[in-house]
Structure 1
Amino acid sequence: MTDRLPPIPFAQLSAAQQVAARAVIDGPRGALYGPFVPLIRSPELMEAAQRMGEYLRYRSAIGTRLSELAILVTARQWSQPVEWAIHAPIAQDSGIAPAIIEAIAARQRPENMTEDEALVHDFCIELQQRQRVGDDTYAAALARFGEHGVVDLMGINGYYTFLAMVMNAAQTPAPPSRAAPLAP
């Protein structure tokens, strides 16, 4: 596959693109990579997206470990190799067991998840596959995470679906990763 929207050298970016790029580079991500490479073509959209993503990735009400699990489920549902390459190692470093990551990659429900991992996994699978969440799963998530956490969990699914759509359409190549490549 050919990268339809490849990196643009910083010096060739417009003034608005440079401001948007600098916000990503100077933030916790430290570089312009992944979804921000195609998104730089729309600097205002990229700025809004990166602010949302920064919150959801680094400060969500469900915490980093569970956010990373939700990101992996979303990446798998969209067969998104960039997000997988970036987030599978982060998920493992955040405490998600390698066997859980491998099961998600194989489109299987992982065994031996903690209660909160199983809840996040099932919530994401229902939302991604059925486009809704059943009453029992919703009630369990609400009881465990509260409204703030449930809204953040929905937001993670939506945000990473958006990024998956952008990169799948742009055919953004996966970066080198210590994670096994995600099969289609």
Structure 2
Amino acid sequence: MIDRLGPLAAQQLTAAQRAAAQAVIDGPRGALVGPFVPLLRSPELMECAQRMGEYLRYRSAIGTRLSEIAILVTAREWDQQVEWAIHAPIAGRSGIAPDVIEAIAQRRKSPALQADEAVVFDFCVELHRSKRVSDATYADALALFGEQGVVDLMGINGYYTFLAMVMNAAQTPAPASTAAPLPV
């Protein structure tokens, strides 16, 4: 596969692209990687996406550990190798059991999921596959996370779907990772 929107040389960047790239580099990500490489072609969109992603990834109402479950489910549903390569190791460091990560890679629900992880898993899988969430699953998420948490969970799914769509269309190559690639 050819990387359709690969890295741009510094001398190719417009002032707006340089500013947008620097904002990502100066933020918690520390580098211009993954989806931000193709998104750099639209610096204002990239800046907006980066700000949303920074909130959802680092400060959401459901916390980092549960956010990583949502990100992995989204990566799996979209066969997104970049998201998987980046987030499977982060999920492990965040306390997600290796059996859970492997089950998600295989499109299965792991019996090793903790109760709160199972609620997030069910919510995300239903949202991606059915394009809706059942009343029972919604009620479980609402009871655990409140309205802000439920909205943040929806936002994480939407944001990482957006990134997956960008990288799948751009054919962004996955970085080196300690995680095995997703089976296709």
| TM-score, with length taken from structure 2 | 0.99
1:39-62 alpha-carbon deviations (Å, 9 max, x no partner): 000000000000000000000000
Q: Distance in 2 between matches of 1:153 and 1:146?
A: 11
1:74-94 alpha-carbon deviations (Å, 9 max, x no partner): 000000000000000000000
Q: Distance in 2 between matches of 1:114 and 1:148?
A: 21
Aligned-partner SS, 1:3: coil
Q: Distance in 2 between matches of 1:161 and 1:18?
A: 26
**Aligned equivalent of 2:109:** 109
What is the CA distance between 1:10 and its match in structure 2? 2.4
**Aligned equivalent of 2:21:** 21
1:85-104 alpha-carbon deviations (Å, 9 max, x no partner): 00000000000000000000
**Aligned equivalent of 1:128:** 128
Amino acid at match of 2:70: A
Contact 2:65 2:94 in 1 (8 A): yes
Q: Distance in 2 between matches of 1:132 and 1:103?
A: 22
Task: Show the 5 A alignment for 1:1-184.
Answer: 1-184=1-184
1:134-157 alpha-carbon deviations (Å, 9 max, x no partner): 000001100100000000000000
Q: Distance in 1 between matches of 2:25 and 2:4?
A: 22
What is the CA distance between 1:183 and its match in structure 2? 1.6
Q: Distance in 1 between matches of 2:94 and 2:22?
A: 27
Runs of 4+ in 1 over 6 A off after TM superposition: none
Aligned-partner SS, 2:182: coil
Amino acid at match of 2:130: R
Amino acid at match of 1:42: S
User: Gaps spanning 5+ residues in structure 1: where?
Assistant: none
Contact 2:97 2:112 in 1 (8 A): no
User: Gaps spanning 5+ residues in structure 2: where?
Assistant: none
Q: Distance in 1 between matches of 2:29 and 2:4?
A: 23
Q: Distance in 2 between matches of 1:39 and 1:69?
A: 24
Which sits farther off after the overlay, 7-16 or 25-34? 7-16
Amino acid at match of 2:63: G
Amino acid at match of 1:175: P
Q: Distance in 1 between matches of 2:127 and 2:147?
A: 16
1:100-156 alpha-carbon deviations (Å, 9 max, x no partner): 000000111111211100000000000000000000000110010000000000000
Contact 2:24 2:30 in 1 (8 A): yes
| TM-score, with length taken from structure 1 | 0.99
What is the CA distance between 1:11 and its match in structure 2? 3.0
